[in-house]
Structure 1
Amino acid sequence: MQKALTAAIFLFLFRCDKSHRRAAMGCKSSKQGTLAHMNQPSGKRTLDIAIIGDSGVGKSSLVNALTISPSCMYNFPLRQRTLQDECSDLQRRALLPPQDPGRKMHNKMLSNKKKFLAFVEFIKSLQKNVDIKSDPATYFNEVIKIYEKTFSDGGMKEAASKVKKELEELENTELHIAITGEVGSGKSTLINALQGLKAEDDGAAPVGVTETTLNPNAYSHPKYPKVKFWDLPGIGSPGFSSESYLKKVDFPRYDFFIIVGSTRFQNCHIELAQEIQRMNKLFYFVRSKMDLDMSSMKRNYPKTFSEDQAIKTIRDECKKNLLNFKDSSHQSFLISSWDLAKYDFPHLVETLEKDLPSLKRIAFLFSLPNFSSEVIEKKKSALKSHIWKISLVSACINAIPLPGLPLACDAALLLGSMVAFYKMFELDDGSLARVARLARKPVEELKAVIKSPQGKEITLDLVKKTIIHTLQCFLPVSPVSSLASAGVSFATTYCMLWSFLDNLSEDAERVKKVLGLEECEAEHLRAKQNWHKT
């Protein structure tokens, strides 16, 4: 049954006189009135609007405007409130044109964005409140519930595409670290230490007592080629100019600078730092060769030597040297390139983590050697914050059904991720051979304590077997027939990767123990205590 609404709009130029008010009260058409009749395509509803006013006030123009776009009735807040108060919901809808397809797409995108953000918060909350080791069944079921609650009415493909781009951005993130300082300060040795190399290893920076660096030389990390360490020419020569120096070394290229001094910070260090700061780049003062200083002081003062007091003396001297630097918030970090766990290197890492953008921070963290339990734990935590992304992409993009199982996944993506995890924890064959050589230990001794499958054993067949094993652990708890395949795939691969990461971090700890780094760990704790005292 067709219903109608009649409304009157009175137009006047300056004021509403008695004739207008009488017409409004009667709402009758006359020679002064014009009728706008509009039929909306959606639904059988007719809306009749009488437009009344004196000649020349624009009745016909308003009719034409309303016929083309009835929504212009809502151009003014007072008119909008009046119509909303006096018309029913269906009558108000009759004033509006059919929704623009572009607008619908925009609303859908906003809805999918809200779903994605809600999904991320659900996952973070689950990681915080449910322990997968002590209660894996609850964890598995909660992951599926979160997945189904978020994507029950669509949006999972869009979310998967978004996180796929995020994973690609992380993989393609470049980090350029500039190491500079005076000749013989240990720049090249520090670069090699950051990569876990010795000067004789392939790809290592050459080390010498004379200047070996005349032009900026890049050394790509052996496992992460997009992380580059730049050995810059020495500073402090006669006539040194920080401005011309930075032009020569292509200043904009680098993400941050490490300014190295081996004895004391001089005017050339301060001048360079001020020029870097003026150009809004990050920089850090590093006092190197602490191991040589400690050994020398111990030989010279065998009876009264105290390492803590010696460190305090050097730290105070560094502060004194930097008094002329305008920004007193910049501290100097005392390090030994031969023992990164000692002294202040862990605090340099923490400072960089705070200062660098998120993707570059993660790239820097993954490139570090496993010199302490703290680094291993940070790597595990960073990776766990990304495995849900890998699982979502695996379940929704390029997913291939696994025969006999109620799920489909991108097994190749999972394989690549697991191999990458191995390298990040330095458990691949190349990394194990390198750290064994540095520690002068047989590589077989390191491999003997690794309980996870060896690097060469990680194949597509192993990935599929691990998925099957993970799913079988939960099948009795969760009736698969009631679950969407994508949800099961996401939950299964998520739990599998989570467990795999836990096992790898435990293997990395065992390898660290065999390497004899417990003493370094104790030194690391002492260094933290000394740092907080200062």
Structure 2
Amino acid sequence: MKTAARSTCPHVFCNFYRVIFSIVLRVLLSPEVHEYFPQLTSMDQFISDFLVGKNFQQLATNFVPHYTTLVSKVGGIISPENLDRLQAALKEAKLKDVADIIEELLMAAENAPLDVAVIGESGTGKSSFISALQGLSYEEEGSVSVGIVETTMKKTPYQHPKYPNVTLWDLPGTGTPNFRPHEYLEMVEFAIYDFFIIISSSWFSLNDALLAKNIKEIGKKFYFVRTKVDNDLYNEEKSKPTSFKRERVLQRIRDNCLANLSHIGVPEPCIFLVSNFDLDDFDFPILEETLLKELPVHKCYTFVLLLPNLSDAFIKMKRAFLKEKIWLDALKSSALSFIPFMACFNGFDLPQQEKCLNLYQSHFGLDEKSVKVITEKLSMSLEEIKSFTKSLNFWLLVQDDSIADKTMKCAECYCLVHGGLPSTLFQFFKIYFLHLKFINTVADDAKILLHKTLESLSLGR
């Protein structure tokens, strides 16, 4: 009897795994999943091959081409050097190493400090620029002092209200007779900043040019930002209503700045024209993309999260970075779940899922405080906002009483103990597809609210 029992047991397990696998496939191919993951077939190929543990050398070869399809146009979280490390671990089927490397990279991205130095004279819009990057109005607590007199006599740090690793530094202006670039950089401790933004609302001075030259010599990046171009356009249109042409005025401002800086010793400078009151207009989006391309890879994730929702393109970029992180998290958990019992420590319950959704809402400006501001801007109640959004109702997103869902939950308890393919599939499904549903829903809601806000502003003008 014992022999017979032992002989039938493997068949029972095989049939059990087939049932589970068929349930998972039905879920993966369901219309609901495709709604939130339309490119399922192409993007899922790599992870499917990984999950069944087939041909790790081929997986290593395919890893980089597949990864490039996941990242945004400005890049991703993983540097070329670390892609090589992951490839090497995959090639040798060292799944624990794969998980450890991904964990290391995600920790570096999430905890990377970012220090931004902003330099400009009183009245140039420096303080307003910092407040805009903070996502704060000028009257909110924590925003930078704005005034017509000099408010910055020494370097002043402003910690980002949502991202404590981000510090925006308001540095003293350069317009004093005794200004000395080398001494200035030493005084403000130049080594701590990731890059410098030099601001002017008219002409860039000789001191600005000297400072830029010295910043370049110490190996740091700098960017010239010409503020208050909206004021220039307004004044030009008022003074020359019949001959006014917006693009021609903007080009003249740009050409004057370029000629001025070239004349005082800055060859081929990059000038960004901005309005602190309309960040989505003019060159601010180009400035943000430039900074993302030139920042160290591990700091891009931190920087992209603090970007305000200025346009569909910004939301798309932020979504790409977060989806990449979701994919890496899922890949790490899938690798760990091949080790018996290990997957038990990587699951999450409903409170953790709700916390995750709240985090995504915060990234896209849909947290409780931000939504309150939006309701005031749109003159709507919270209930009205909820009527055309989906991400503000957690239970609506996660509720699923289907028989297949209950079967999967029961089977999961068994599989997590024994490891193997079904355990990996469930871990991947929970972490990847549910989080993907969260991020896409929140991003779609952010777009809806952005368009309604822009429409409201245009009607109010």
TM over 0.5: yes
- Displacement of 1:144 in angstroms is 4.0
Which residue, 424, 427, 431 being the options, matches 1:486? 424
The AA in structure 1 aligned to 2:140 is D
Which residue, 338, 358, 363 being the options, matches 1:419? 358
More displaced, 287-296 or 141-150?
141-150
Q: Deviations over 1:124-145 (max 9, x none)?
A: xxxxxx9964475897687444
Which residue, 147, 150, 157 being the options, matches 1:208? 147
- Displacement of 1:333 in angstroms is 0.5
The question of 1:429 aligning with 2:368 is answered yes
Give distance in 2, aligned partners of 1:493 and 1:420.
Answer: 15
Find the counterpart in structure 1 of residue 61 from structure 2.
none
Please say if residues 120 and 198 of structure 2, whose CA atoms lie closer than 8 Å, have aligned partners that are also in contact: yes
The question of 1:305 aligning with 2:244 is answered yes
Find the counterpart in structure 2 of residue 409 from structure 1.
347
Give distance in 1, aligned partners of 2:397 and 2:304.
Answer: 28
Find the counterpart in structure 1 of residue 53 from structure 2.
149
Which residue, 230, 251, 260 being the options, matches 2:190? 251
Find the counterpart in structure 2 of residue 283 from structure 1.
222
**Percent identity among equivalent residues?**
32
- Displacement of 1:184 in angstroms is 1.3
For structure 1, the residue ranges without an aligned partner over 5 or more in a row are 1-129, 403-407, 521-534
Shift of the 168–235 alpha-carbon distance from structure 1 to 2, 3 Å rule, reads same
Find the counterpart in structure 2 of residue 472 from structure 1.
405
Q: Residues 383-402 of structure 1: matches in 2 within 5 Å?
A: 383-394=322-333, 396=336
Q: Residues 83-482 of structure 1: matches in 2 within 5 Å?
A: 133-134=37-38, 143-149=47-53, 155-324=94-263, 326-394=265-333, 396=336, 409-411=347-349, 416-436=355-375, 439=377, 441-442=379-380, 444=382, 445-454=384-393, 457=394, 472=405
Find the counterpart in structure 2 of residue 109 from structure 1.
none
Please say if residues 148 and 487 of structure 1, whose CA atoms lie closer than 8 Å, have aligned partners that are also in contact: no
Q: Deviations over 1:291-316 (max 9, x none)?
A: 11111111111222111111111111
- Displacement of 1:498 in angstroms is 1.9
The AA in structure 1 aligned to 2:427 is S
Please say if residues 394 and 410 of structure 1, whose CA atoms lie closer than 8 Å, have aligned partners that are also in contact: no
Give distance in 2, aligned partners of 1:208 and 1:334.
Answer: 21
The AA in structure 1 aligned to 2:230 is D
The AA in structure 2 aligned to 1:298 is E
Q: Deviations over 1:352-398 (max 9, x none)?
A: 11111112122111101101111000001111111122224455389
Give distance in 2, aligned partners of 1:305 and 1:274.
Answer: 36
| Larger helix percent | 2
Shift of the 462–503 alpha-carbon distance from structure 1 to 2, 3 Å rule, reads closer
Give distance in 2, aligned partners of 1:178 and 1:283.
Answer: 9
The AA in structure 1 aligned to 2:388 is V
The AA in structure 2 aligned to 1:510 is I
Q: Give the alignment's TM-score, normalised by structure 2.
A: 0.73
Please say if residues 258 and 269 of structure 2, whose CA atoms lie closer than 8 Å, have aligned partners that are also in contact: no
The AA in structure 2 aligned to 1:149 is G
Q: Deviations over 1:222-270 (max 9, x none)?
A: 1111111111112212222222211111111100000001011111111
Give distance in 1, aligned partners of 2:98 and 2:357.
Answer: 22
Give distance in 2, aligned partners of 1:135 and 1:240.
Answer: 57
Looking at both structures, which has the greater relative contact order when contacts are Cα pairs under 8 Å and sequence separation is at least 6? 2
Shift of the 416–172 alpha-carbon distance from structure 1 to 2, 3 Å rule, reads farther
- Displacement of 1:317 in angstroms is 0.8
Give distance in 2, aligned partners of 1:160 and 1:151.
Answer: 18
More displaced, 137-146 or 317-326?
137-146
Please say if residues 391 and 441 of structure 2, whose CA atoms lie closer than 8 Å, have aligned partners that are also in contact: yes
Which residue, 449, 454, 458 being the options, matches 1:511? 449
Shift of the 328–137 alpha-carbon distance from structure 1 to 2, 3 Å rule, reads closer
Give distance in 2, aligned partners of 1:199 and 1:145.
Answer: 52
Give distance in 1, aligned partners of 2:404 and 2:99.
Answer: 22
Aligned length: 377
The DSSP-based 3-state class of the residue aligned with 2:213 is helix
The DSSP-based 3-state class of the residue aligned with 2:389 is coil
Give distance in 2, aligned partners of 1:277 and 1:470.
Answer: 63
Give distance in 2, aligned partners of 1:436 and 1:384.
Answer: 28
- Displacement of 1:320 in angstroms is 1.2
Find the counterpart in structure 1 of residue 3 from structure 2.
none
Find the counterpart in structure 1 of residue 434 from structure 2.
496
| Larger strand percent | 1
- Displacement of 1:427 in angstroms is 1.0
- Write out the 4+ residue segments of structure 1 that deviate beyond 6 Å after TM superposition: 137-142, 151-154, 397-400, 468-471, 478-482
Please say if residues 120 and 173 of structure 2, whose CA atoms lie closer than 8 Å, have aligned partners that are also in contact: yes
Q: Deviations over 1:36-84 (max 9, x none)?
A: xxxxxxxxxxxxxxxxxxxxxxxxxxxxxxxxxxxxxxxxxxxxxxxxx
Give distance in 2, aligned partners of 1:188 and 1:470.
Answer: 57
Shift of the 319–137 alpha-carbon distance from structure 1 to 2, 3 Å rule, reads closer
Give distance in 2, aligned partners of 1:505 and 1:296.
Answer: 37
The AA in structure 1 aligned to 2:50 is I
